[in-house]
């Protein structure tokens, strides 16, 4: 399975800075897409690939920090590297707390930017993988019957078949069949495996 080429998005209102960054980042073999404003970035159709955002703090219309918050609210989890010509400590703290990968002051060292981009892309890759796994688990979970979905939380909470049978008012044998089915459908090798899957899907074990 070949990974799509990672992309670096650059939002800066200064065309010269944009071009210089593209030249630098492009020279290490990364795809670079340039945007003049936050709005332009939002409107763009971005490729489904590991990516990161190099964002100027001072932007026409909206500040970089506000844009960071807007993205989070819109559930767009793209790692952000801030670059600014004039930054101060409170601004940096705020940006980092909100999840920024790095906060660079213009003019920055080229390696610092490239390193930050690498970290950001790694982070995005990991995030993307995680999201993919959860998506697979959710797909499997969707294939369960309603009865199996009912039994799953009880199983992961460590209850015995007899107990589960009593809980849902059926026979121990029936519970045993359900259990086997859901283990097979979820692709779990063991109970521990199943418990981990449930956790990742955010299904809490049902306490007796």
Partner 1 sequence: MLSANAVMTGSYDYGEVARSVLIAIAASYAALDLAGRVTAASGRTRAAWLTGGAIAMGIGIWAMHFKGMLAFRLPVQVSYYWPTVLLSLLVAILASAFALYVVSRQKLGWARALTGSFVMGGGIAAMHYIGMAAMRLAAVTRFAALLVTLSVVLAIVFSFAALMLAFDLREETKGTALRKIASAVVMGVAVSAMHYTGMAAASFMPSAVPPNLSHAVSISPLGNNGIVIVTILVLGTAILTSSVDRLTEAEVRRLNEGLEQRVVERTRQLTAANEQLRREIAERQRAEDALRRSEDRLRSVIDTIPALVWSKMPDGSADFFNQRFREYTGLSVEEGLGEGWLKAFHPEDRASSVDEWRSAFATGKPFEFEARLRRADGEYRWFLLRGVPLRDELGNIIKWYGTTTDIEDRKRAEWALQEAQAGLSHVTRVMAMGELVASIAHEVNQPLTGVVTNANFCLRQLASETPNLEKLREAIAEIVNDGTRASAVISRIRALLMKGAPERVELDINEIIQEVAVLVRNEVTRNRISLRNDLAPDLPRVLGDRVQLQQVLINLVMNGIDAMRTLTDRSRELLIKSAKNPSGVLIQVHDSGPGLDLEQADRIFEPFFTTKPEGIGMGLSISRSIVESHGGRLWAVPGSNGALFQFTLPSSANSVS
Residues in touch with partner 1 (CB under 8 A): 14, 16-17, 19-21, 23-24, 27, 58, 83, 85-86, 106-110
Residue placing its CB nearer to partner 1 in the complex, 43 or 109: 109
As measured in angstroms, the least distance from the Cβ of 41 to partner 1 is: 19
The neighbouring-strand residues paired with 31 are: 7
Residue placing its CB nearer to partner 1 in the complex, 110 or 167: 110
As measured in angstroms, the least distance from the Cβ of 14 to partner 1 is: 5
As measured in angstroms, the least distance from the Cβ of 15 to partner 1 is: 9
Residue placing its CB nearer to partner 1 in the complex, 22 or 178: 22
Contact assessment for residue 198 and residue 152, using Cβ atoms and an 8 Å cutoff: yes
Residue placing its CB nearer to partner 1 in the complex, 23 or 184: 23
H-helix or E-strand spanning residue 51 = strand 51-56
Residue placing its CB nearer to partner 1 in the complex, 91 or 134: 91
Interior angle at CA 50, CA 121 and CA 123, nearest 5:
35
The neighbouring-strand residues paired with 105 are: 84
Residue among 46, 82, 81, 202 nearest 130 (CA): 202
As measured in angstroms, the least distance from the Cβ of 34 to partner 1 is: 13
As measured in angstroms, the least distance from the Cβ of 130 to partner 1 is: 33
Residue among 83, 64, 68 nearest 24 (CA): 83
Q: How far is CA 24 from CA 9, 32, 86, in A?
A: 13, 10, 22
């Amino acid at each position: 399975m070949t990974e799509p080429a990672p992309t670096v998005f650059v939002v800066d209102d200064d065309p010269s800075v944009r071009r210089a960054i593209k030249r630098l980042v492009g020279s290490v073999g990364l795809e670079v897409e340039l945007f003049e404003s936050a709005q332009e970035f939002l409107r763009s159709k971005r490729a489904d690939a590991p990516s990161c955002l190099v964002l100027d703090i001072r932007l026409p219309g909206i500040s970089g920090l506000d844009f960071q918050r807007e993205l989070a609210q819109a559930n767009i989890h793209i790692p952000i590297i801030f670059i600014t010509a004039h930054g101060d400590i409170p601004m940096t703290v705020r940006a980092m707390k909100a999840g920024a990968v790095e906060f660079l002051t213009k003019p920055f060292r080229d390696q610092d930017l490239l390193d930050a981009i690498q970290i950001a892309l790694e982070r995005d890759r990991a995030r993307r993988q995680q999201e993919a796994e959860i998506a697979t688990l959710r797909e499997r979970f969707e294939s369960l019957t309603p009865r199996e979905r009912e039994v799953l939380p009880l199983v992961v909470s460590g209850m015995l078949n007899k107990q589960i049978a009593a809980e849902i008012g059926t026979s121990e044998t029936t519970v045993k069949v359900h259990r086997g089915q859901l283990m097979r459908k979820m692709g779990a090798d063991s109970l521990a495996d199943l418990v981990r899957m449930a956790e990742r899907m955010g299904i809490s074990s049902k306490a007796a």
